Every structure is written in C-alpha cells, then in structure tokens.
Amino acid sequence: MKKILVIEDDPFIRENIIDILDEYVIYNANDGIEGIQIAKEKIPDLIISDIMLPKKDGYEVLEALRQEPLTSTIPVIFLTAKSEPSDLRKAMNLGAEDFITKPFDIEELIRIVKLRLKRKDEIDAQSKKLLKDLRSSITLSLPHEFRTPLNVIIGMTDIILSKIDLLEKEDLIEMHHHIRTSAKRLHKLIEKFLFFAKLEIISSNESEKQVLTEEASLDVKYIVEEIIQELSTDYQRNSDVEIECESINLHISSMYLGKILEEIIDNALKFSKLGNKVRIEAKKQENFYVIKISNEGIGMTPIQLKNIGAYLQFDRKLYEQSGTGLGIAIAQKLTHLHKGSFTIESDPEKKVVVTLKFPLYEGVVT
C-alpha cells in the first residue's frame, strides 16, 4: 500500500486530508522539522505539505529532503493559500511536483495524488530497468574487457617459460611487445573505472565539486593539438583529422579538459574507418565556448543515443572494437560538473557529432 506524509499545522485541514486519502497509509506532522524527521524515517511515496509551516516552512522542508539521497526523489505536492506566480515558480524551482491552492477541491486533491503516484511508479519502473540493463552490461562487458588482455599476458608468458630455450630473440621481442600492449590496455581500463568512481563521489559532494572547478585551463587549441597528435599517430590516421580551433583559456583544468577531449576524439577515431574524416571545430559563440567533434562512421540510432551511459557499448557482436562505454560517461560527467552541456547527434551508418558548450566567465583569458 502506498505511503503518504501530510505536513500541515492546521489540525482541521490535516485530519480532512487524512480522511479523504483513507485508501493509503498516512503519516502526519504539524511542523516542518517533524515532517523532515518522519520523511527520513518512513520514506513515503508522496508528501503533501503546506508552505506556511512553523519551525521550517515548506520551502525549507523541500530543500532539506532534496539533499538526502533517500528522500531526494520523493514527489512533493504543496498546499498553499498563495497564488502569486513568484511563489509557485519558487516551489517548482526547488523541485515541487505540483501545488494545490487552498481551499482545495476534494476531487482535485484525489486526482493530483493519483497522478503523482502513477508518475512515481513509472519513474521507479524506468530506474529499475536502467539498473537491470546496467547490471547486464557490466556482466557482459567486464569479463571480456579484463579477460582479453589477461589471456594475452598469461598465454605469452606461458610460452616464454615453457620454450625459453627454443625462442629466437625476435620472437621474444614480439611477445614482449604483445605483453606490454595488453598490460597497458588493462591498466588503462582499471584507471577508467577508478576515475569514474571518483567522479561519482565528487558529484554528490558540493565541497568536492567546488574544488574540482577552481582551476583554469591552458590554451584549448594547444590541448586539442596535443591530443590529436598522440591519438592520430596511435591510429595511424594523421591525414584524416581536420582542426579549426580558436585559442582560449576555459574555467576547467587542463587535465580534465584533456580527459574529456581524449575520450571523445578516441571514440571518433575508433568508430570510423581509415580515410574517413574526423573534424574538430572550437570557437566562441556568444557567452559559450563551443567544441564540436564529428566523424563519419558507424553512427547511432535514436534509441542508442537515449540509452548512452556508463558500461554500455552498442552492438559489440557487430562491431568488434573493445570498450565499455565508460569513456563517454566520463566525458559527460566531467562536462556537467563544470556546468557545461554535452550533446550527441547522429545519423545511423553516416556520422556522429558531439557538441560541448562551456560557459565563459568574467576574467576568462582569451
């Protein structure tokens, strides 16, 4: 049975709501502090709260609940005698799902409650599906990603140990090369997982986020050119890359900006064929610095674009490139932590365009 918390200091209104919603399990509180405490203890499916409350008003209650992981997603309906647009806008900006103006109509109250509970069920079901897909993707991708380089390392070392006296110097050098390449791949994969875990922790801590965004970058053009030189050489595609980049310093550290660009450009080269162009354009547009990275290649369908996330790689059986999808997730997370926007547009089997937009702050060196 669904649980609803009613926070209302007027006992008559509070009891009236409890009677109307008798098909649900109802908890009640008569002030803001008590309401917060009960919400944390009972984790209701829905909260109906007056705005004008003693001790802490409805706005403060909502702010407190949104800061706690267990209560941050509970839908809140405000009861209010106020009808000024500024008051309603403030409620919505804080994350209120709906509001009911006093005196309220019984049928309207029941309708809104049912609507918000239904919407919560839909969101919960979607979250469970995403979690299931994530678990499935981890189960499928992780063993493969770890096992492949490990198999090479173990296999090559076994051959060396068992046939050391029979191997020529050239054979040993080649095996050493394969072992080193596989070890570097495995090390890179582990570093990605650790880095993504670090970002997840930072994103839930305001002070950590503040520290993350304090540094400024070196010239973006220099960073782009350095990454392009390294990656295009690795993929042997120096002639495939085109750069048109305007010099600027952004409010993001060179390390983090480099990480974002490295992951996106690496994907652009990895998922496009030799001879197809990879283009990087970067310039100021109004109050933003816009970076576009495009490539002619596999592309993605609208469904794939919608489901982009950590550990998800599409069509592994069709396209044999290695990867977990963590690179894009890391780039997205870092961009959003620096108050930028990250969008991907794609024509299946034709091209992919990744667009980054970073805000230009006062004092930015251009």
DSSP assignment letter at 216:
-
Amino acid identity, position 225: E
Domains annotated on the chain, with CATH: 3-104 (3.40.50.2300), 134-203 (1.10.287), 210-359 (3.30.565.10)
pLDDT at 321 over 60: no
Which residue in this structure is represented by tokens 């690179």?
327
Position 300 scores a pLDDT of 62
In Å, how far are 74, 161, 165, 325 from 154, measured between CA atoms?
Answer: 50, 10, 19, 26
DSSP per-residue string spanning 145-186: HHHHHHHHHHHHHHHHHHSTTT--HHHHHHHHHHHHHHHHHH
Angle of the 326-337 helix axis to the 254-270 helix axis, nearest 10: 150
Answer yes or no: pTM beyond 0.75: no
Highest mean pLDDT among 205-214, 227-236, 317-326: 227-236
pLDDT confidence tier of residue 349, bands split at 50, 70 and 90: low
Position 324 scores a pLDDT of 47
Q: Which of 91, 94, 99, 131 is nearest to 115 (CA)?
A: 99
**Which position has the higher pLDDT, 199 or 299?**
199
pLDDT at 197 over 80: no
Position 283 scores a pLDDT of 92
Helices (H), 215-253: 220-234
How many whole angstroms separate alpha carbon 226 and alpha carbon 243? Answer: 12
Of 38-42, 119-123, 292-296, the range with the lowest mean pLDDT is 119-123
Q: Which residues, in sequence order, are bridge partners of residue 279? A: 242, 294
Hey, how many other C-beta atoms are within 10 angstroms of the C-beta on 224?
Answer: 21
pLDDT at 143 over 90: no
DSSP assignment letter at 68:
S
The tokens describing 99, both together, are 């509001």
**Which position has the higher pLDDT, 312 or 174?**
174
3-class DSSP string for 249-281? ECCCCHHHHHHHHHHHHHHHHHCCCCCCCEEEE
Position 301 scores a pLDDT of 59
pLDDT, tens digit, for every residue of 144-155? 677 788 888 999
Could you tell me if 324 and 145 are in contact, meaning their C-beta atoms sit under 8 angstroms apart? yes
How many whole angstroms separate alpha carbon 293 and alpha carbon 317? Answer: 26
The average confidence (pLDDT) of the chain is 81
Mean pLDDT (whole number) for 79-94: 68
Mean pLDDT (whole number) for 350-365: 75
Who contacts 147 (Cβ-Cβ below 8 Å, separation ≥6)?
Answer: none
pLDDT at 357 over 90: yes
